[in-house]
Amino acid sequence: MSSKEALRVLLPSLSQARAPLIHAIEVLDEHGLLRSLSIPAERSLTVYVDKRELVTLMTLGEQPELLVLGYLRNQRLVDGPDAIESITVDWEVGAAAVRTRTGLPGLAERTARRTVTTGCGQGTVFGDLLQDIDATPLPPAASGRLSQRALYDMLAVVRNVDSIYKQAGSVHGCALFAGDAMLCHVEDVGRHNAIDTIAGWLWMQQLERAQLAAPVAFYTTGRLTSEMVMKAALMGVPIVVSRNGVTQMGQALAARLGLCLIGRAKGRHFLVYSGFDRFLAEPESA
């Protein structure tokens, strides 16, 4: 058995729990008329690690197992997917049961300190991630710059996705790009859930940044806060693009890490807030 095959044996077993993503309702409009409308589903998912309650996530539930795996990854509660034996989601009780292979030593102490972030639905960061983030390596700018033309292509690809947002609105979308190819697209009620799901997808695919075509970029419809910048950095992604704005702490953290932060990106408009050396300006393409 090759080393790659051996590694795949250690990937966690995931249930394939599914639930309706949109919900039909009747609304009353400004003309006093009843209309049928679709809205996104939202449900709570309580995560248990080895029968110990960890956190409750509010989610659309598109790929809940990947969401849980990515959440554990981005909170630095597990070092790799091989630490997890299985993730089982049961929507009847709204629970995700995570079973580890050998337990997670010090989990109680590591989750004792919480910082409530500006993530939709109040995201949570455990422990000292904000203090430890400087140790996160990002690839050098010379490994691949995002050109202005490639940025426009990325925005066009996202715009043409057959999304839940187009059907029902009220959700955030995130996508991962390698070169001009969109590898993964996820929607959820919170942008931090969407990026966590992509982090889980990367682990299950056994993909690391070095294996992907440069430049590697992450796209989100949500605002770029420190939490979003931090999670992108933890995945080793050096370029983050949003159609929304940027917070002061998000911009400062990105600048400190050398991460390229692009906001207000829609159509032919955008602003580069940090990491100018990772972006190839081509004003003529505007």
- The model's pLDDT over 44-80, given as tens digits with 9 standing for 90+, comes to 999 999 999 999 999 999 999 999 999 999 888 998 9
**The token pair that represents 119 in the structure block:** 């993530």
Q: Is the pLDDT of residue 270 over 90?
A: yes
Mean pLDDT check: name the lowest of 56-65, 160-169, 170-179, 188-197: 160-169
Average the pLDDT over 35-41 and give the result.
Answer: 84
Higher pLDDT, 179 or 158: 158
Q: Strand pairing partners for 125?
A: 115
Average the pLDDT over 194-201 and give the result.
Answer: 93
CA angle 60, 70, 108 (to 5 degrees): 105
The yes or no reply on domain 141-285 and CATH 3.40.50.300 is: no
| 8 Å CB contact between 51 and 99 | no
CATH no. of 3-131: 3.10.20.10
Supply the pLDDT for residue 129: 60
Query: Mean pLDDT in the chain?
Result: 85
Average the pLDDT over 134-151 and give the result.
Answer: 86
Q: Is the pLDDT of residue 30 over 80?
A: no
Q: Kindly tell me the number of DSSP H helices and DSSP E strands found in the chain.
A: 9, 17
| 8 Å CB contact between 119 and 190 | yes
Buried b (16+ CB within 10 A) or exposed e, 64-78: bbbbbbbbbbbbbbb
Please report, rounded to a whole number, the percentage of residues in the chain having pLDDT higher than 70. Answer: 87
- The model's pLDDT over 87-126, given as tens digits with 9 standing for 90+, comes to 999 999 999 999 999 998 877 777 765 544 444 444 555 5
Distance CA 139, CA 236 (A): 7
Q: Does pTM surpass 0.85?
A: no
Average the pLDDT over 247-269 and give the result.
Answer: 91
Higher pLDDT, 265 or 27: 265
Supply the pLDDT for residue 9: 55
Q: Is the pLDDT of residue 175 over 60?
A: yes
Domain boundaries, the chain: 3-131, 141-285
- The model's pLDDT over 201-226, given as tens digits with 9 standing for 90+, comes to 999 998 766 667 778 999 999 888 88
Higher pLDDT, 39 or 47: 47
